[in-house]
Amino acid sequence: MSPAIIDPDDLSVHAPQPIPNLYVSEYFQKHGGVTSLLELDRVLPTPLSEESTSNSEDEASVSSLVRDRQFLEGDRSDDFKEDNEKTKLQALAAAIKVMISCLGDDPEREGLVKTPERYAKALLSFTRGYHTTVTEVVNDAIFHEDVSEDMVVGKDIEVFSLCEHHLVPFMGKIHVGYIPNGRVLGLSKIARIVEVFARRLQIQERLTRQVALAIENILKPRGVAVVMESMHLCMVMRGVEKTTSSTTTSCMLGSFKEQADLRGEFLSLVKGK
């Protein structure tokens, strides 16, 4: 993988496309074929029929059309965004209800009746990184400093993410170091940058690399080093690994890649407890 492939601010690579209200059934037919299971027609707003599109007198249809056009043109009003969020939540909750049935439990029993919506909300929160960019979270907290020789290290930053192969959490710590080239970042912002990428469906290797590339991209430092240690529940819960075992990944860029002594210094700094 070459660094140029991942632009930390380009969400188009991994971000799911927003689901337009009117096309959700089609969307599921194309992407999952579960329309009948979900009974989407019942849970979703009425699709715009051929007949109503031709009736320009009908105010409701006109407003649907306007909203639909706004969606296509990418100029979405807040109302439309809210509707789209609601639709997404409903479709997700419906899918989770099916999931519970498939697992062999009764989604209507008392303890589970609110679980689909609750889990849907939780999942959307665990993946909110799709709707954030590095530029947004950094929010101009870049300072000009003449500290070009000193290594800046943020260590033991807690990370929680979701493994994209099993949709099960992996969690651990990430350590970030860089050698400034006239620009430094507010320290709390490193943790915020990590969140942007951790709150997506991930693999640890990509997460590590994306954090490094993001720092490189916004600071243009002399070098960036990122090391992540984490425990994957998909492994330990299945008994593939012991609960104490962790996976370590690293990404070294610039002077950290070129100079073994710098790498060594960084690693001894993050390992020293």
**Does the CA dihedral 229-230-231-235 come out positive or negative?**
negative
Decide whether 131 or 166 has the Cβ nearer to Zn ion: 166
Q: Nearest approach, Cβ of 79 to Zn ion (angstroms)? A: 38
Candidate ranges 32-40, 137-145, 163-171, 265-273; the one touching Zn ion (CB under 5 A) = 163-171
Of 197, 168, 218, the closest CA to residue 15 belongs to 197
Decide whether 5 or 167 has the Cβ nearer to Zn ion: 167
Q: How many residues bind Zn ion (CB under 5 A)?
A: 4
| Contacts of Zn ion in 226-265 (CB under 5 A) | 234
Residue 97 and residue 244: Cα distance in Å, rounded?
34
**Which of 165, 238, 242, 271 touches Zn ion by CB under 5 A?**
165
Decide whether 65 or 233 has the Cβ nearer to Zn ion: 233
Decide whether 88 or 166 has the Cβ nearer to Zn ion: 166
Q: Nearest approach, Cβ of 166 to Zn ion (angstroms)? A: 4
Catalytic center residues: 163-166, 204, 232, 234
Asked if 166 touches Zn ion (CB under 5 A), the answer is yes
Decide whether 84 or 230 has the Cβ nearer to Zn ion: 230
What does the block give as tokens for 118? 């609750």
Candidate ranges 70-78, 156-164, 173-181, 187-195; the one touching Zn ion (CB under 5 A) = 156-164
| Contacts of Zn ion in 4-43 (CB under 5 A) | none
The answer to whether the CB of 124 falls within 8 A of the CB of 86 is: no
Residue 142 and residue 220: Cα distance in Å, rounded?
11
User: How, if at all, do strands 223-232 and 201-202 pair?
Assistant: unpaired
| CA 239-106-121 angle, 5° bins | 75
Q: Which residues contact 184 (CB under 8 A, 6 or more apart)?
A: 142, 143, 145, 147, 152, 219
Candidate ranges 80-88, 114-122, 162-170, 194-202; the one touching Zn ion (CB under 5 A) = 162-170
Q: Nearest approach, Cβ of 232 to Zn ion (angstroms)? A: 6
Q: Nearest approach, Cβ of 151 to Zn ion (angstroms)? A: 33
Query: What number of other Cβ atoms are within 10 A of residue 217's Cβ?
Result: 16
Q: How far is CA 159 from the centre of its chain?
A: 13
**Which of 93, 151, 152, 163 touches Zn ion by CB under 5 A?**
163
- Give the helix/strand (H/E) hosting 26: helix 24-31
End-to-end CA distance of the chain: 33
Q: Nearest approach, Cβ of 165 to Zn ion (angstroms)? A: 4
Chain residues in the site for Zn ion (CB under 5 A)? 163, 165-166, 234
